[in-house]
Structure 1
Amino acid sequence: MSANGDSLLNTVSTNDVYDSPAAHDLGMVTPESEVYSTDMWASFGNEGDLDTIWNDSDLFQYMSGQVDWLEADSPLLQYADPWQDLTPPCDWRPSRSTTHQELLHHYSEVLSHLIVLSEEPINPFRNCIMPIIYESRDSPVLYAVLAFSAAHLENTGKHLEESSVDFYNRSLEGISHSMSNGADPQETLIAIILLVYFEALVRCESSPNMKSHLQDSSRLLRKIEASKQFEFNFLHKALGFYDVIHSLSTRAKPLLTPPGDFGNNRGYPKGNPQPGAVDPLLGLSETLWPLLYRLGVLLSRLEEWKIAVEAGNAFDSDILYIAIQTSAATLKEALETWEPVVPQDYILSDGNISRQDGQITPDCLTIRAMFHNALAYQYAALLQLHKAAYGRPRHHHCIQGNVHLALSHCMEVTSSNGPVSALLWPLFIAASEAVTKEDRLMATQTFSCLQQRQGMVNIDHASDIILKTWSDPFRSWEMVEQEMGFTIVFG
């Protein structure tokens, strides 16, 4: 990091990646020495499946034009893929590396489905990113995808010919080159955001690079907006999501423009979504996200207040305390009155959401999971607010009441057979304060389901911290996390 907070993305040669000072500036890491299981690629299809995926140009047309069936005035078109007119280059050929093909297959067919809440009308992490890989065989986006896939498989015990950190470093090198040479900022931004997902979800060791990645993404986003060439709306949401989640995880101030200042519109929801539209990344919690942003700001101010108190600065600490209490009161009221927006053709009944016609369809299960996911966030946010801003003890009814509600909704998400992505933050916050046998059982069962269905490293780390926190009621999860030597981002 430079003195002004900018990350140092300097161009380095491939041979110098692990040894030069520039490699450390880039946040590059040394490959781990562990030998993983030799049970290779058990989750992949056969060779014919791979040939179909990477050699059939019809798939490209499907991926880049999947939403043609939508009505012209459909509100879902706000998430339509901007690459509908692209065709693969006539000389494009899949990589000679079978490993690369298998990792791309894993990203396309597994990972891209695990990091969204909805795939209607498209999955943006599949339909917007895969065409870029078709266009370039050596882009930082390609290596970011390979790093993400490789790390996810390494966490399941797979032995790979090339490690995830090798791909990670090659992506960083490509990003550095792109930024130095004025390459397409959108493609560079996508690569960095993919590395943010890598850092948050699948990196085994704690990384200092998350904040610098978010800073680089924010600068690129401003550059793209200034040029009026921004096309990928989902990048706004992905960056905004992790900006807030990083803030809630670390109590660092959010980096992006606050919600309500939409002159630059850098990543946060604007007003109510159109009726019937479901955000693939935020689901039914889209209108809750500005409140979570405010909670992140409040937590960062609490850290500033603690520093002022420790320094004996009574004037500053008093001013901060008054501002914090005022903000907490308005935020508490907003969180308590917030409700998810019910999509068209759905109704609320007996604390659940159902189709008006009573049918149980796959779409209904998805909506139901998103509904309970949003409520889990709401009650976890209230829990965090009562604990941090009001100093409520663990056994206070405001803490335990919100613990039970948050965990109940987390359980409803997993039992709905719908998507379970982005559930870790409310689950962890509630589990860390759980004291009753019933609540701890719900937390344990939900963690087990997430580990089985998602396979992300941060879920494993979070589960370990919770178990250690439960074993010693005098230690907070923050103390346990520090003792274990890593920082979790609850994406």
Structure 2
Amino acid sequence: MLLYTRKAPPKAPKRRSRAGCTYCKEKKKKCDEVRPQCSRCAEHGIECAYEAVKPRQRKKREGPLGEGASDSNSGTCSLGRRFSEAGSDFVAEGDESDGEEEEAPSGKPGRGTLTVRPRSVYPNLAMISPYPAGSPLLEFCPPLFSEFSERPSRRALIDHFCNILSHLIVFREESGNPFQQLVLPLTQKSVPVMNAMYALASAHLEYQGVENPEKSLFFHNRAIQGLGKLIEHNGPGKVNRNEILAAIMLLVYYEVLVQRGHSNIVSVHLKGALTVLCADPDPTDATTAFLERAFRFYDVIAALSNGTAPLSAAPAPGCLQPFPPLGAHAASPLSSVDTLLGMSTTLWPIIHRLSDLLPLKRELELAVRFNDVMPKIAALRAEFESTTAAIETALAQWQPHLPPNFIPDGDDPNPARRNTGKSLNIPAGDTDPPPSPMSAPERARLHSILHNALAYRHSAFVYLYRTLYSYPRSHPAVQTNAHMALEHCVTTVAYAGPMGALLWPLFAAACEAVTTEDRSLAERAFSAIRKRQGMMNIERSWEIVQEVWRRADWADVVAGLPDEGRRRGSMQSMHSGNGELEDGQMDLWRQVSKDLGFNIVFG
């Protein structure tokens, strides 16, 4: 589905009754107005509610509201203006029930104005949101997003999802955003998908300091209930499985964003989604393929975060092809970039296998500790050593696949070519014209995506050496790769491109930073992605990193004390959780996460 806004020719005005039930109004359907339950509500098995018919009133439009003011039909007006309009609508109209939701969690109907608590600045989307989204399902529909809901607060949430969130979680959208193209249309026929989208957008706004009359937890609970009913009644020809997958995927993003303590609900959601996918393993359409790619990404990230094995099997090398947005041209400068994995498509099978090794290492350690039979220990050791060696070789040999007309800054000795991307080796007799030079924003975006992938590569080395090989933090292999990963993270944010998948490589490298230079790099990168992404898991990750540094520094102090002082310091470490952990125990950052009560998923 193409997402664009086009003014349609004038049509004869439609006159319809305003006395229909709230469900039919919400769905923009004609209501037969049978009481106590209309036929449509009876068919869907939902409660039918009628409201008093209000007299028509002509509203006065506010004048320009600051910098963001523009024509009311514009699809590119600023987010601040849209929320100002939504706030004025709350004062004028209140917040009418739509027949699907009963009450806000406070026990009061959702009335009132938006409350803005200053906390952080909205990200500058000049680079990552060059494709303004109007109402995507109708050609021309004022006010914006009114086809989704009559309630201004909910239209504001769809606006936030389309114009902020959807751009923060993808690498590629030159012909449109896949979340808008493939997931958003499902909300028109699936209430659980719609509620999950409301929950995600509302949670992101709450973290930014904008409070909606209806809390994100309210929408989350409604989405969970609806999803349960959707799965319960699923069967051949009954429910499109994309509705189930989309609802679960949005709930995964929600859980990653809000980070509720030690909750393992992300793993539960992933198991449910993969069960649905395995029931019919061949993607039937672009939506299924896109959602499957998203689940496989989070499957590996959750495994690295929790120290568990991935639920899915590792893809074979070369089998993952970049997933483009709908309508993307084959000769696009981003043709080698995946929507969700960036330039890490060929790296991902290696990282998937890497994430599967910590459970194997623990099994080997337990077998040795409890004097298991020697053949089992020998088999486990051989499997562990051969797999880690193969992964180390694969990481050393991996190189990102670059677009043909893209030469990274610093790789081309000719400065004139370095900034234009015109350094091309065209074979003799080739009749195809060379690709057109890239614009500065395109080159900046590609540089961000490239350095993101290189950060993953070096942090994978850090994970291999530190977590699997149990090298000490001071080992040159650990420090060299941690420094390189941090350099690539800082370069990623310096080019101001996509940062949605940067948290894991940044966190893995930052935990091992020991020098003032490396810790400064980590702080700069964390500051940039916290400002851009605005998500709780980033803030919690930064808290863990700082506590890891504090405990690691204390362990170094203890190590330099005389024997008596070292013994006292060791006793203090036992009681406060400070210091380096011995082989066979969890990583220091996992211990810190446990002590702080966080269960971070680094998505």
- TM-score, normalised on structure 2? 0.64
Distance 1:201 1:309, change over 3 A: farther
2:369 is the alignment partner of 1:304: no
Q: Secondary structure at the match of 2:402?
A: coil
Aligned twin of 2:116: 39
CA 1:397 to 1:438, structure 2 compared with 1: closer, same or farther past 3 Å?
Answer: same
SS of match in other structure, 1:307: helix
1:282 paired residue number = 341
One-letter amino acid of the counterpart of residue 142, structure 1: M
1:5 paired residue number: none
Amino acid at match of 2:197: V
Q: CA RMSD in A?
A: 3.1
For 1:99 and 1:388, how far apart are their aligned partners in 2?
A: 46
> Residues 433, 354 of structure 1: CA spacing in aligned structure 2 closer, same or farther, 3 A cutoff?
farther
Task: List, as ranges, runs of 4+ consecutive aligned residues in structure 1 with deviation greater than 6 Å.
Answer: 30-33, 40-44, 271-275
Shift of 1:227: 8.6
SS at match of 1:394: coil
Q: Check if 1:454 corresponds to 2:533.
A: yes
Q: Aligned to 2:549, what secondary structure does the other structure show?
A: helix
Partner of 1:393: 472
Counterpart residue type for residue 334 of structure 1: A
**Structure 2 counterpart of 1:367:** 446
Query: For the residues of structure 1 that align with 2:168 and 2:381, how far apart are their CA atoms?
Result: 41
CA contact (8 A) 2:204 2:534 kept: yes
Indicate whether 1:123 and 2:204 are aligned: no
> 1:428 maps to what in 2?
507
2:248 aligns with: 192
Higher helix fraction (1 or 2)? 1
In the alignment, is residue 139 of structure 1 matched against residue 191 of structure 2?
A: yes
8 Å CA contact 2:361–2:468 kept in 1: the answer is yes
Q: Distance in 1 between matches of 2:478 and 2:589?
A: 15
**Alpha-carbon distance in 1 for matches of 2:396, 2:291:** 29
Q: State the distance in 2 between where 1:229 and 1:296 align.
A: 29
> Does 1:486 find its partner at 2:598?
yes
User: Is the CA contact (8 Å cut-off) linking 1:370 and 1:413 kept in structure 2?
Assistant: yes
* 1:150 counterpart (202, 221, 224): 202
Q: CA deviation at 1:470?
A: 0.7
Alignment of 1:79-478 (within 5 A): 93-133=147-187, 135-136=188-189, 139-182=191-234, 183-225=239-281, 228=284, 231-260=287-316, 269-270=320-321, 276-313=335-372, 315=374, 316-348=376-408, 350-351=410-411, 356-357=421-422, 360-473=439-552, 474-475=579-580, 476-478=588-590
**1:273-319 superposed Cα distances (whole Å, 9 cap, x missing partner):** 98833211111111100000010111221232233344442533443
Aligned mates of 2:547, 2:600 — CA distance in 1: 15
C-alpha displacement of 1:455: 0.5
- Aligned with 1:488: secondary structure? coil
Counterpart position of 1:4: none
Kindly provide the CA deviation profile for residues 341-360 of structure 1, in whole angstroms up to 9, marking residues without a partner as x.
01121124535886523755
Superposition deviation, residue 245 in structure 1: 0.6
Query: After the TM superposition, which of the residue ranges 350-359 and 203-212 deviates more from structure 2?
Result: 350-359
- Could you tell me how far apart the structure 2 residues matched to 1:393 and 1:55 are? 53
Q: Contact (CA 8 Å) 2:361, 2:384: kept in 1 or not?
A: yes
Contact 2:137 2:185 in 1 (8 A): no
**Deviations 1:29-65 (Å, cap 9, x if unpaired)?**
x9799xx993179969xxxxxxx945982269xxxxx
Corresponding residue number in structure 2 for 1:27: none
Q: What is the identity, as a one-letter code, of the residue corresponding to 1:439? A: D
State the distance in 2 between where 1:354 and 1:304 align. 52
- Against the structure 1 CA distance between its residues 314 and 487, is the aligned structure 2 distance closer, same or farther, given a 3 Å change threshold? farther
Any conservation in 2 of the 1:148–1:194 contact (CA below 8 Å)? yes
Q: Secondary structure at the match of 2:230?
A: helix
Q: Are the equivalent residues in 2 in contact too, given 1:55–1:93 (CA < 8 A)?
A: no
Distance in 2, Cα, partners of 1:248 & 1:374:
16
8 Å Cα contact 1:285-1:340 kept in structure 2: yes
Shift of 1:228: 4.5
CA distance in 1, matches of 2:261, 2:343: 32
1:464 and 1:224 map into 2 onto residues whose CA distance is: 41
Q: TM-score, normalised by structure 1?
A: 0.78
Q: 1:222 Cα shift?
A: 2.2
CA distance in 1, matches of 2:465, 2:105: 42
User: Match for 1:130: what amino acid?
Assistant: L
1:237-258 Cα distance to aligned partner (Å, 9 max, x none): 1111101111111121111122
Structure 1 unaligned segments of length 5 or more: list them: 1-12, 15-29, 45-51, 61-87, 263-267
Q: Deviations over 1:193-220 (max 9, x none)?
A: 1111111223343322111111111111
User: Is 1:118–1:366's contact at 8 Å kept on the other side of the alignment?
Assistant: no
Cα offset, 1:149, TM superposition = 0.8
Letter of the 2:138 counterpart: S
In 2, Cα distance between the equivalents of 1:328 and 1:56? 49
Shift, 1:154, TM fit = 1.3
Q: 1:186 to 1:309 in 2, by over 3 A?
A: same
Q: Is the 8 A contact 2:259 2:599 kept in 1?
A: no
How many Å separate the matches in 2 of 1:54 and 1:348? 37
Shift in Å, 1:432: 0.1
CA contact (8 A) 2:368 2:377 kept: yes
Uncovered stretches (5+) of structure 2, i.e. residues with no partner: 1-45, 48-103, 108-112, 124-132, 325-329, 413-417, 423-436, 553-578, 581-587
Contact 1:346–1:354 (CA<8 Å) still a contact in 2?
no
CA–CA distance in 2 between the matches of 1:424 and 1:365? 20
- Check whether the contact 1:324–1:389 (CA below 8 A) recurs between aligned residues: no
Larger radius of gyration: 2
SS in 1 for 2:210: coil
Q: Secondary structure at the match of 1:129?
A: helix
2:389 and 2:411 map into 1 onto residues whose CA distance is: 26
Distance (whole Å) between structure 2 residues aligned to residue 278 and residue 174 of structure 1: 35
Following superposition, the deviation at residue 233 of structure 1 comes to: 2.1
In structure 2, give the amino acid aligned to 1:255.
L
Code of the aligned partner of 1:269: L
Q: Which amino acid aligns with 1:179?
A: I
Q: 1:57 aligns with which of 134, 138, 141?
A: 138
Q: What is the distance in 1 between the residues matched to 2:136 and 2:521? A: 45
What is the identity, as a one-letter code, of the residue corresponding to 2:351? L
What is the CA–CA distance in structure 1 between the aligned matches of 2:447 and 2:138, rounded to whole Å?
35
CA contact (8 A) 1:354 1:368 kept: no
* 1:43/1:337 CA distance change after superposition, 3 Å: closer
Q: Could you tell me which amino acid in structure 1 is paired with residue 421 of structure 2?
A: Q
Contact 2:117-2:210 within 8 A present in 1 as well: yes
Kindly indicate whether the alpha-carbon contact (under 8 Å) linking 1:148 and 1:202 is maintained by their aligned counterparts in 2: no
